[in-house]
Structure formats: C-alpha cells, structure tokens
C-alpha cells in the first residue's frame, strides 16, 4: 500500500513538474503495460526535470522511482531540466525461428513506448527513451538522434538507476572489469561487498574498482509478495559492458560502465547511436526466468543468413589432460620460433599430437560425438611461460612438428568427426586481429566450422579491460569476420552474452563463468555443489555456456592430489540437459568413459532442441529441465541439486498424450554423496507416458539424468 502511494505521489510530482514548466499540451508522463497487463511502467519527470520511472508487477512496485541520465567528459550531464516532446505507443507481435537453440520458435510480443525528451535550456540536447514491455519483464534503451550541436558523445558514465523496494536475497558475482570467473555469492543487497573479492589467487586478470556486481544478477523478493528479478543487458554493441553499482543503504543499483585507463571516457560514439537495452526479468517463480526469451527478443533478427554449415554437436578434446597435468600445451621448452622447431625439440609431454588426435577421433566416432577440440596444436605456447610480452607470440596457422593438421582433418572426415580449432590469443587481441583473416581462411579451406577462442591474462594494450568498449568491439568483430568464413565462435574469457546470437547465430557459446577447469586446479576447493544450480538462474539467463561437463573420474586420481569435482557422476550427466549450449563437451579422458554404462546417456543425449520445459527450481538449490530433441523427438531430463539431498516427483505431462516411451533413468545410488561416494549411480528402465509421475531422489551434490525414447 505504502509503495503504491509513493508511485502515485511521484506521478503527481511529475505531472506538476511538467505542467508548471511548459505550456505544451504534450503529457509530461506516460504509462505502458505488457500485453497481458502483468507488468507496467510509469514514466515521468522529477521536479528538477530528470526523467524517471517505476515498474509494477501484478500490483506490486518492483522498481521504485529511478532516474535516467548521462555524464560526459566534455559536456554538462544530460539528466535534469528536460521536457517530454512526444510520446508514442505501439504494439509488436512476431514469431521467429531459432536456427539452433532451446526451442524451434520464439514469440516476441511487446508493447512499446517511445519518449522523446529535450533539454529546456542550452545546450537543448535531445534524447529518446524506448521501453519494451513484455509479460516476462521489460527492456529500455537510450537513443541519441542526430542533432545540432552534438556530433559525438564521450560518455563518462551512464546514470541508469534501479531502485529496489526491499533488501532482496541476491545471487551475485563482483563487478570485475576483466573476468566473470568468480563463484556466485548469496547475500542480501545490503550485504553485498564486491571489494572483498579482490586479488583472487586463481585468476590471471581481475579488476574490481568499486562495490558493484556483474550481470545477470538475480534476486528474490521475500516480503509480502514473493517475486524474482534479474538484471542484465541486451545487444551489447559498440559500448562498454555495464556493471551495477550497489548502494547497500538505499538499496539502489546504478549502472557503472567498464572503462579504460587510457581514456577519460568509457564510451565514445558518433551520433546517431543507441545504447544496449537495460533489461529486468520479472517472474513469480524462479523457473520462469530460465524459460524467458526477453534478452534474445531485444536483439535484432539474423543478419548473416543461413548458418546450416554449423551443426550443434557434442565434442571431446585434447584439453582436460592438460588441466590435469597429464600432458602439456607446449611442445618444447625451447624459446625458438615456430618455423625452426623440429621433432628433436620435443619435450615429450605434448598433448596435441597427430596420434593422440586420431585416438580422440576414433573414440568420438564410436560414441556418437561429432567434434574433437585440439588445444596446444600451434606454435607460441612455449613462450606463454613468461606471460608478459605476449604480442606477436601466438601463431594461428603454424602447427607444431608433431601435429599434422591436414591429416587429422582428413581422418576426422573419414570418420564423420569435425576438428574444432583453438585460438588462444593470450589477451593480445591486436595480434589476433592481424591474423584473423588468414586463420579463418585456413579453417575454411579445411572445412573446419568452429573455433574456441581464449583471452587469458591481462590485456595488451595495458589499461584496457576485457569488458570495456574497445574489447566489446573486438569480440563482436571477430564473430562477424568469422561468419564470412563460415566459422562459429565459442569464446573463453569473453564479453558476457547479451543475446547477440539471434543476430549472429555463429556466436554459438562462451565461457564467462567459473567453468569445470577450476575443479582441476583451483586452490579454493573448486566449484561447490551449489555452483550449477546457481549458474542456471544467473549466468545461464544470458546465453549458452561452454561449461564442459561429463567428468566421470570425480576424484581426479591419480592426477590431482588436492582437487576433485564436487558433484556426483549423475549430476555431471544431468548437466547436458540443464546447462544449455549447442556444443557440449564430454570433457573427461576417454579411459574414464570406456566400459561405463553411464556413457550411454552421453551417447544418446541431444544438443539441439525443439522444446524446453523448466519443471522446477530455486537458485542455488536445485533445478530440473526437460528438453525435446529436434531431430528425433526424444526427450531428455536433467535435475541437479546443491549439497542437500532432495526427493521430488516430476510429471511427464510434456510427452505426447497416448504415446508410450521407454525412460532410462541414471540416478544417484542410495548411498551416493558428492564427496564420500560420488561415482555411485544406478540405471533403471521404465515404461512411461504423459500421465506418469516419476519419483527422483537426488543425493547431496547429486543429480538425475533421464532419456525418454518413443517406443
Ligand atoms: C582458459 C580456458 O578457459 C581453457 O578452456 C583453456 O584450456 C585455457 N584457457 C588455454 O587456452
Ligand atoms: Ca577460463
């Protein structure tokens, strides 16, 4: 009640501010609803003429009075003293196809409000705010139209506010300008202290300048009305990534753009331009957050046409063995240049050999796996040790002497397995820019259609950060260039996903979180059991994740004494369904899969989906997702839990009525436990139909994976 009153007062204040200040007949406030009326946005001017809004969900104020604005390096702020010149409302409804994805088609249905604002006094700049109201949340962006007296914007910061209405439980990572590979924290907004997360021992680059969080950041309101919010951005193009500064007293979040030490501005743009969308997902139940397509819908349609040359796939790789220390990326200890290395220089531990790659191809072909990633195939890794002077070190076309690139590609083709290229840029993007054309042209000539790229370390040039405008442009340009060569990109140490895969469907997956690799070497015990039940409601809302699941040798013996995976084996299986990506790695060494009945699930599970149904879930606790494979119509279900064991019933009402299916259930054994007994599982087969209710029992840190095949 109090909150509603506050909005009313704010609205009146806005109207008064408008009517006192101008003779115009244009209304000085506006209201727009989502198509069902569930979400409402009130737009108004504060008494000093600053544009502001509130957001209401089913009668509850979820965002209280929050302002808009900008600060510039060379101009006064664009914030107060504004009037509304025009207000336009429209409706949009379309359904668009996903070339690959969580479902076949997406409905994009919203009501739009366009507000044109102008400063009443000099410099009389014009600014447009565009709002899109969806039933699952809202997005808005700023537009700087072409205008007299302002040709360029040197943005010092964006002043977008999100005034929370309670001290919500929040799942957050710090607003690091360089890396998202932090564990998620759970706390009240008032207890967020990102600065305590500085100097993380496991991160090669990290910079957290203020008490802010990175997005997506998800919250649960626990007052009289329970609801969930998740804040993020859509269509991050030619702009800096946005963190959210946290005021732990007023419970207000404010946009904090990622900057650079080399310039005063955080964003430099020539007018006209638009900012990325600022998004707020709003849901009554947490599972709705995962089902939402709001972020994708706020992106432009496919701009590159047919991408059928990229096929969603499972893959294995010469990868985990390096993280375990079984083999090395580099071929030789010598610092000699690539061309002069000979077989005599070999130090004997190199993973990416022709022989090893062929063994991976054979294993993949036998197990219905379409790709093999090969890391450490190219010259440069021997210089990586020094790590400081990384410009010009990596070469993306010259293989080491023990790796016959053409031969492994030929052999793979014979077996129906594609090689996945690897480009570790070592965060020297200018070196990569220079070689990109040649590198992608080589891939095209060999018929290789996907690359995993990497940006480990502090950026060169010094003073730039991974999430600033300069790097946003690098990441996006790489994807656009790759498309010209029919190459799809899976970036590690990337910029966050903002739904650009709709526009550039060759942007297939990315890391952008603490991946499986941390379990192999992190000095803090690795990813805890709650990690992925938490990721599903945070990082995963932004887009596909290359987490690299499927570790069966949970204790990592004999390779690692002090590390392990902190889940059960059944939990690892469930990740193929829970964590969405059109490429899914079977990450463990082939010897740990050989002869294991659970491998049948990895063989069977799909990677490209017709439908997705999120069955249940609570951030950081558990989540269950069912997905139907496009090609076969088979269903797969994955359920994971944190360190708590859980019993649940799931109804298979998503199955075709009247049809009979065979369900194979890969479940934690009765005494399974992520630490004490992680590899114990049992497989049972049941006949099921759309009326079946299945009882699942998940062990602490456990999971369940189910394949449901039509009979
Ligand atoms: C970090 C990536 O996340 C990992 O997957 C890769 O193996 C190494 N960099 C080396 O490029
Ligand atoms: Ca990484």
Three-state SS sequence of 409-449? HHHHHHHCCEEEEEEECCCCHHHHHHHHHHHHHHHHHHCCC
3-state secondary structure of 8: helix
Phi, psi (rounded to 5 degrees) for 94: -145, 165
Between helix 429-446 and helix 405-415 the angle, nearest 10°, is 50
Query: DSSP character for 48?
Result: T
Q: Are 388 and 361 in contact (CB under 8 A)?
A: no
Q: Which atom of ligand 1 sits closest to the CA of residue 515?
A: 3
* Cβ of residue 456 lying under 6 Å from some atom of ligand 1: yes
How far apart are alpha carbons 472 and 240 in whole angstroms? 7
- Residues in the chain with pLDDT values less than 70: 1-24, 335-339, 385-387
**pLDDT for the residue numbered 339:** 59
Which residue in 383, 429, 427 sits closest to 205, CA to CA? 427
How far apart are alpha carbons 416 and 418 in whole angstroms? 7
Cα 479 to averaged position of ligand 1 atoms, centre (Å): 19
Query: Is 517 in the active site?
Result: yes
- 3 Cβ contact list (under 8 Å, min separation 6): 60, 61, 64, 165
How far apart are alpha carbons 613 and 396 in whole angstroms? 41
Q: Are 216 and 231 in contact (CB under 8 A)?
A: yes
How far apart are alpha carbons 438 and 481 in whole angstroms? 11
How far apart are alpha carbons 117 and 131 in whole angstroms? 14
* Cβ of residue 511 lying under 6 Å from some atom of ligand 1: yes
Does the domain at 300-512 match CATH 3.20.20.70? Answer given as: yes
3-state secondary structure of 312: coil
| 504-515: pLDDT as tens digits | 999 999 999 999
Phi, psi (rounded to 5 degrees) for 471: -75, -35
> 517, 530, 629, 643: which is the annotated catalytic residue?
517
Query: 548-575 burial by CB neighbour count: b if 16+ within 10 A, else e?
Result: bbbbbbbebeebbeebbbbbbbbbbbbb
Cα 170 to averaged position of ligand 2 atoms, centre (Å): 24
Q: Are 180 and 243 in contact (CB under 8 A)?
A: no
Output the residue whose Cα is nearest ligand 1's atom 11. 424
**pLDDT for the residue numbered 7:** 44
Query: 627-646 burial by CB neighbour count: b if 16+ within 10 A, else e?
Result: bbbbeebbbbbbbbbbbeeb
Locus of tokens 């799931």: 650
Q: Which atom of ligand 1 sits closest to the CA of residue 424?
A: 11
**pLDDT for the residue numbered 56:** 98
Domain ranges of the chain: 2-297, 300-512
Q: Are 473 and 452 in contact (CB under 8 A)?
A: no
Between the alpha carbon of residue 223 and those of residues 166, 169, 228, the distances in Å are 7, 11, 11
Q: Are 564 and 555 in contact (CB under 8 A)?
A: yes
* Cβ of residue 669 lying under 6 Å from some atom of ligand 1: no
Q: Are 394 and 400 in contact (CB under 8 A)?
A: no
Name the CATH topology of 2-297.
Beta-galactosidase; Chain A, domain 5 (2.70.98)
Q: Are 346 and 402 in contact (CB under 8 A)?
A: yes
- 547 Cβ contact list (under 8 Å, min separation 6): 513, 515, 516, 532, 535, 575, 579, 581
Cα 572 to averaged position of ligand 2 atoms, centre (Å): 19
Out of 375, 422, 521, 548, mutate this one to test ligand 1's pocket (max ligand atoms within 8 Å of CB): namely 375
Q: Are 123 and 150 in contact (CB under 8 A)?
A: yes
- Say what the alpha-carbon torsion angle 168, 174, 176, 180 is, to the nearest 10 degrees: -100
Backbone dihedral region for residue 662 (phi beyond 0: left; psi -120 to 50: alpha; all else: beta): beta
Nearest-5° Cα angle at 164, 162 to 168: 130
**pLDDT for the residue numbered 390:** 85
pTM for the model stands at: 0.96
Which residue in 342, 337, 320, 340 sits closest to 402, CA to CA? 342
How far apart are alpha carbons 611 and 596 in whole angstroms? 29
**pLDDT for the residue numbered 13:** 40
The separation between the first and the last C-alpha atoms of the chain, rounded to the nearest angstrom, is: 56
* Cβ of residue 424 lying under 6 Å from some atom of ligand 1: yes
Query: From the CB of residue 461, how many other CB atoms can be counted at a distance below 10 Å?
Result: 13
Q: Which atom of ligand 1 sits closest to the CA of residue 319?
A: 7
How far apart are alpha carbons 488 and 450 in whole angstroms? 4
Instruction: For residue 205, give the ligand nearest its CA.
Output: 2
Task: List the alpha helices (DSSP H) in 232-353.
Answer: 286-291, 294-297, 320-323
Out of 322, 351, 385, 456, mutate this one to test ligand 1's pocket (max ligand atoms within 8 Å of CB): namely 456
């Amino acid at each position: 009640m109090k909150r509603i009153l506050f909005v009313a007062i704010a609205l009146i204040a806005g109207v008064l501010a408008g009517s006192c200040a101008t003779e115009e007949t244009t209304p000085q406030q506006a209201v727009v609803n989502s198509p069902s009326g569930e979400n409402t946005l009130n737009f108004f001017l504060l008494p000093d003429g600053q544009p502001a809004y509130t957001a209401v969900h089913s009668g509850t104020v979820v965002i209280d009075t929050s302002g808009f604005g900008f600060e510039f390096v060379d101009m006064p702020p664009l914030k107060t003293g504004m009037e509304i010149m025009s207000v336009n409302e429209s409706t949009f409804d379309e359904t668009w196809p996903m070339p690959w994805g969580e479902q076949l088609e997406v409905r994009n249905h919203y009501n739009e409000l366009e507000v044109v604002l102008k400063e009443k006094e000099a410099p009389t700049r014009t600014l447009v705010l565009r709002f899109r109201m969806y039933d699952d949340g809202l997005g808005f962006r700023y537009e700087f139209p072409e205008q007299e007296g302002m040709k360029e914007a040197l943005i010092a910061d964006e002043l977008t506010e999100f005034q929370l209405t309670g001290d919500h439980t929040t799942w957050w990572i710090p607003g690091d300008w360089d890396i998202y590979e932090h564990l998620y924290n759970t706390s009240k907004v008032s207890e967020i202290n990102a600065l305590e997360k500085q100097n993380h021992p496991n991160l090669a680059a990290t910079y957290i300048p203020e008490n802010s969080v990175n997005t997506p950041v998800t919250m649960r309101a626990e007052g009289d009305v329970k609801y969930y919010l998740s804040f993020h951005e859509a269509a991050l193009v030619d702009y800096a990534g946005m963190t959210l500064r946290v005021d732990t007293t007023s419970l207000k979040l404010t946009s904090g753009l990622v900057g650079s030490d080399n310039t005063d501005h955080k964003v430099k743009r020539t007018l006209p331009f638009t900012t990325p969308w600022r998004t707020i997902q709003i849901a009554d139940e947490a599972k709705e957050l995962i089902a939402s397509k709001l972020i994708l819908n706020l992106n432009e349609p496919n701009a590159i046409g047919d991408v059928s040359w990229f096929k969603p796939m499972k893959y294995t790789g010469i990868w985990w063995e390096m993280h375990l220390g079984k083999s090395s990326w580099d071929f030789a200890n010598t610092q000699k240049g690539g061309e002069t290395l000979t077989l005599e220089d070999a130090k004997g531990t190199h993973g990416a050999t022709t022989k090893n790659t062929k063994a991976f191809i054979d294993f993949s072909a036998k197990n219905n796996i379409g790709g093999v990633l090969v890391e450490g195939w190219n010259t440069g890794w021997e210089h990586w040790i020094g790590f400081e002077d990384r410009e010009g070190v990596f070469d993306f076309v010259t293989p080491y002497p023990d790796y016959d690139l053409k031969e492994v590609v030929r052999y793979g083709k014979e077996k129906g397995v594609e090689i996945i290229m690897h480009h570790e840029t070592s965060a020297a993007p200018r070196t990569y820019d220079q070689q990109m054309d040649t590198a992608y042209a080589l891939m095209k000539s060999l018929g290789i259609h996907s690359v995993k790229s990497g940006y480990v370390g502090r950026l060169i040039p010094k003073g730039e950060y991974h999430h600033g405008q300069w790097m946003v442009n690098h990441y996006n340009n790489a994807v656009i260039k790759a498309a010209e060569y029919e190459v799809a990109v899976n970036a590690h140490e990337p910029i966050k996903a903002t739904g650009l895969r709709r526009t550039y469907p060759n942007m297939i997956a990315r890391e952008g979180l603490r991946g499986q690799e941390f379990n192999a070497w992190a000095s803090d015990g690795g990813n805890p059991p709650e990690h992925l039940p938490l990721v599903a409601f945070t990082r995963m809302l932004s887009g596909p994740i290359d987490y690299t699941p499927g570790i069966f040798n949970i204790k990592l013996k004999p390779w690692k004494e002090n590390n392990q995976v902190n889940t059960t084996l059944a939990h690892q299986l469930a990740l193929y369904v829970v964590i969405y990506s059109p490429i899914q790695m079977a990450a463990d060494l082939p010897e740990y899969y050989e002869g294991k009945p659970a491998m049948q699930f990895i063989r069977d599970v799909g990677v490209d989906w017709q439908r997705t149904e999120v069955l249940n879930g609570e951030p950081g606790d558990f989540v269950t997702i069912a997905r139907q494979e496009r090609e076969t119509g088979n269903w797969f279900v994955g359920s994971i839990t944190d360190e708590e064991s859980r019993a649940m019933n799931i109804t298979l009402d998503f199955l075709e009525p009247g049809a009979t299916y065979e369900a194979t259930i890969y479940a934690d054994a009765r005494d399974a436990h992520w630490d004490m007994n992680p590899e114990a599982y049992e497989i049972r087969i049941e006949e099921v139909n759309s009326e079946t209710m299945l009882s699942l029992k998940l062990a602490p840190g456990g999971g369940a994976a189910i394949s449901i095949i039509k009979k």
